[in-house]
Amino acid sequence: MAPKVSDEYKTKKKIELLQAAKRVFITKGYTRATMQDVMDEAGVSRGALYAYFDNLEHLYLELLQFEDQQDAQFFTPIAGETSWQQITKWLYKQQSEIEKIEQTLSQANSEFFLSLKDQQKQQSYPYITTRYEKMVDVLTAFFAHGTTIGEFKPQLPPEAIARYFISVIDGLMLDTAHLGPEKTKVSEQMEALLFSLRAMLRPTQ
């Protein structure tokens, strides 16, 4: 009888596989990557990888969810930091990543979403259709919490600010992936975003 594997081990192993997959997707994009590439990068057998992921689409979707969860954690209230400090820190993290766009999943993300244009595929992976709204909910709750504790005095509904926020970040990522950070002037765009967010949220600090 094979030894029982703990849930903790499974979670740790899955994260290790996702991290290996991320390195592959950053290097090769989505359309050129294969499950064999991930096996080679992670140093695991076919059975070990397929025990967690059915195919490349499933693997990428799990990676996408993992990355989204990491982003969402930035908007959990942190003791000793104001809401404005948190959002500023997150934006500068995004700036750093966008300025090194070739080291991110931006290109792979574009290829992955284009591959799911088929309606039947989208229905097979419901997270794709709810992903945007989930992030809107996270940001709306964050802005609403900041308002409740008196750190924001928003001039627009929190949900409208959340949608604007996502649109600017996503647009800047996409443009930079195609044109490069020199053309899109990432730092200037981030300063403009911070300026507009400050006007919309009116942080009290």
Per-residue model confidence as pLDDT tens digits over 91-150: 999 999 899 888 888 888 888 888 876 655 656 677 777 888 999 999 999 999 999 999
Domain span holding position 7: 1-65
Of 44, 65, 86, which residue is a domain's last? 65
For residue 168, the model assigns a pLDDT of 95
Give yes or no: residues 174 and 139 share one domain: yes
Question: What's the predicted TM-score (pTM) here?
Answer: 0.83
What's the maximum distance between 2 C-alpha atoms anywhere in the chain?
64
**Amino acid, res. 32:** R
Task: Residue 170: give its domain's CATH number.
Answer: 1.10.357.10
What are the residues whose beta carbons fall under 8 Å from the beta carbon of 164, sequence distance 6 or more? Answer: 196, 200
Neighbours of 190 (CB within 10 A): 21
The pLDDT value recorded for residue 120 is 58
Q: Burial level of 101, CB count in 10 A (0-12/13-18/19+)?
A: buried
Query: Is residue 107 domain-shared with residue 172, that is, in the same domain?
Result: yes
Given 65, 88, 120, the domain boundary residue is: 65
Both 171 and 105 in a single domain?
yes
- Pair (10, 79) in one structural domain: no
- Whether 91 and 179 map to the same domain: the answer is yes
Domains held by the chain: number: 2
User: Would you tell me how many other CB atoms lie within 10 Å of the CB of residue 74?
Assistant: 16
Q: What is the CATH number of the domain that holds 58?
A: 1.10.10.60
User: How far out from the chain centre does Cα 58 lie?
Assistant: 16
